[in-house]
Amino acid sequence: DIQMTQSPSSLSASIGDRVTISCRASQTIRSHLNWYQMKPGKVPKLLIYATSTLEIGVPSRFSGSESGTDFTLTIRSLQREDLATYYCQQSYSNPPTFGGGTKVDLK
């Protein structure tokens, strides 16, 4: 199985801060990297797929990038509604695997 190592496991930031979350794949996944947002009691949400394509309706302050097997989710200016846990997931090979998650809360 492809291992996805996500960091940090948690972070605290202020409203308006730039936030970056990293995800490293144990082998090539050829841009098949997706990001999800999870909030307690809410339906989980696909944010970004194929490394950098924003899902319809996702604010443009979210972006994704890659460098080899390293992937990054960036929130350009953190908003209160962005406080959540974020997961990366590779869909390149079976079984699809997730990173361990990053919980974003307020400083």
Q: How far is the CB of 27 from another protein (least distance, A)?
A: 15
**99: closest CA among 47, 39, 34, 27?**
34
Q: Which residue is listed with tokens 């390149």?
A: 92
The β-bridge relationship of strands 10-13 and 4-7 is: unpaired
The β-bridge relationship of strands 45-49 and 19-25 is: unpaired
> Can you tell me which of 23, 36, 72, 75 binds another protein, judged by CB under 8 A?
36
| x/- letters, 52..91, toward another protein (CB under 8 A) | ---x-------------------------------x-x-x
Q: How far is the CB of 88 from another protein (least distance, A)?
A: 10
φ and ψ at residue 81, rounded to 5 degrees:
-70, -5
> Can you tell me which of 28, 100, 105, 106 binds another protein, judged by CB under 8 A?
100
Q: Can you tell me whether residue 81 is helix, strand or coil?
A: helix
Under the rule (CB under 8 A), what is the footprint of another protein? Answer: 1, 32, 34, 36, 41-46, 49-50, 55, 87, 89, 91-92, 94-101
